[in-house]
Structure 1
Amino acid sequence: MSSPSSPAPARPARGRPARLDRARTLQTALDLLDQSGLDALTMRRLADAMDVQAGALYRYFATKQDLLTAMAERMMEGVTEAAATDGGDWSERLTALARAERDALLAHRDGARVFAGTHATGASVLGFADAFVGVLREAGFADDAAARALYTVVNYTVGHTLEEQAALQPGEGSAEGAGALRNAVTAGTYPHLSATLPTLASTDFTGLFEFGLDLLIEGLRTRHAPPTGK
């Protein structure tokens, strides 16, 4: 207990939030990400946006990688719940989970770049992984097949979204990329690419994602689904 002569501890003004806390720091970082992209997100710029010294951020995040890992975890909040279904077989439930993950990454500029390689182990990311593996184990898949399927589908989803978001970057949009591809193919001798150019140059990223996801699901069904048809 403080002595009578001890100064009272500093308190935020009534009705005003504390200037620095973990939740507000993460939200500010996500706001900056959406505004300017991952390359412009620095610890100094984040500190400036929060009106604190850069060193104050290290109370919560020792490195920028720690910050990115926490941002990845925050982006995955609610994804498992969003993918919940009232029925359907294992393939429909896995499809819903993969779609929900893609939506979560697309919700933030460079979301897939933030997520890739962070190895987040918070409740949101692990809850998503547990739900995914649980769907397969409950359907009768072997444990090793369920784990490998998790990595395969998540890596596909993140990789696809990386390419999708790169194509949608301001100044380097998908229209410009598609135009460059058309010009390069038509200027050369690429008969097979020419025949498929309308699809190759398409900006229907959802259609492309769904096609690849369907291939993965059908592959799992063919190679690993139990013969009982669970």
Structure 2
Amino acid sequence: MTPEPAPRPQPGRTPPRVPPLSRTTVAEAALRLLNETGLEKLTLRAIAAELDVKAPALYWHFKNKQELIDEMATEMYRRMARDEPQQPAGWREMLLAANRGLRRALLSYRDGARVFSGSRFTGADHAEQQEAHLRALLEAGFELPQAVRTLTTTFMYTLGFVTEEQGVHPVAGERREGYDVSERSERLADYPAAAAAGSHLFEDYDAHFEEGLELILAGVAARYGIS
């Protein structure tokens, strides 16, 4: 039997370009799927299907899901660093801008804070920004241990805040069942202070975040005697 000839490419049509498989392309595909599935349902099989490869091909780049999550967090960081404006003058302004930017970056992905939490950045992508932040604090009069504590405390506040925020709103604009403020008030009617607290806990996250960050910075200034 004579084999059928291969179809000729259509004039003026360029075949789609499939990027070579790498740690970065796999992480980028995983981040695309993250907003659709959430972290719990993000599987290597689904990522392989997104890339049109067999799942075992991914194991050439990642030994397990945690390694993939580390690379996803690193790619999130790279994008955040590219979008970060010029570092403002003043240690308070620098920390406000850095943590506002971190919150925006985490909220731009479903379960973004969970991806970041406990992940280890691959390579040294974060070192330049960390060096700049530490130097700004040192120049403002902090000692190195104080600068480290200040950076990690504000970072962990932001990470924890967004983790809770995304727990209540797993998908942007949608509130998880059980977090309706009026329903909560009725359920806690015998505890009036706790019932009234709901509107402060689960509403206006922007103002809540800003005030909490300002409280930390005021505590840092008072603790270390730096204005």
TM-score range, shorter chain: 0.7 to 0.9
Q: How is 1:1-230 mapped onto 2 (pairs within 5 angstroms)?
A: 16-18=17-19, 20-80=21-81, 82-85=83-86, 87-170=88-171, 173=175, 176-179=178-181, 180-186=183-189, 188=190, 190-202=191-203, 204-226=204-226, 229=227
Is residue 24–residue 75 contact of structure 2 (8 Å, CA) maintained in 1? no
Q: Residue type of the partner of 2:94?
A: R
The 2-side partners of 1:81 and 1:28 are apart by 19
Alignment gaps of 5+ in structure 2 = 1-13
> What is the CA distance between 1:53 and its match in structure 2?
1.5
The 1-side partners of 2:51 and 2:129 are apart by 31
Is residue 24–residue 71 contact of structure 2 (8 Å, CA) maintained in 1? no
Structure 1 residues 216 and 83: CA distance shift in structure 2, 3 A:
farther
> What is the CA distance between 1:173 and its match in structure 2?
1.1
Alignment gaps of 5+ in structure 1 = 1-12
The 1-side partners of 2:207 and 2:119 are apart by 27
The 1-side partners of 2:79 and 2:26 are apart by 19
Aligned pair count reads 212
Q: How much is the aligned-residue C-alpha RMSD, in angstroms?
A: 2.4
Please report the TM-score for the alignment, with normalisation by the length of structure 1: 0.82
The 2-side partners of 1:206 and 1:90 are apart by 21
The 1-side partners of 2:185 and 2:21 are apart by 50
Query: Which deviations, in whole Å up to 9, do the C-alpha atoms of 1:55-111 show, x marking residues without a partner?
Result: 111111111111000100111124345444464321011100011111111111100
Q: Residue type of the partner of 2:211?
A: F
Which range moves more in the overlay, 165-174 or 137-146? 165-174
Identity of aligned residues (%): 36
Query: Which deviations, in whole Å up to 9, do the C-alpha atoms of 1:109-166 show, x marking residues without a partner?
Result: 1000001011224333333333332221121101001111111111111100001111
Which range moves more in the overlay, 171-180 or 32-41? 171-180
Q: Residue type of the partner of 1:95?
A: L
SS at 1:92 equivalent: helix
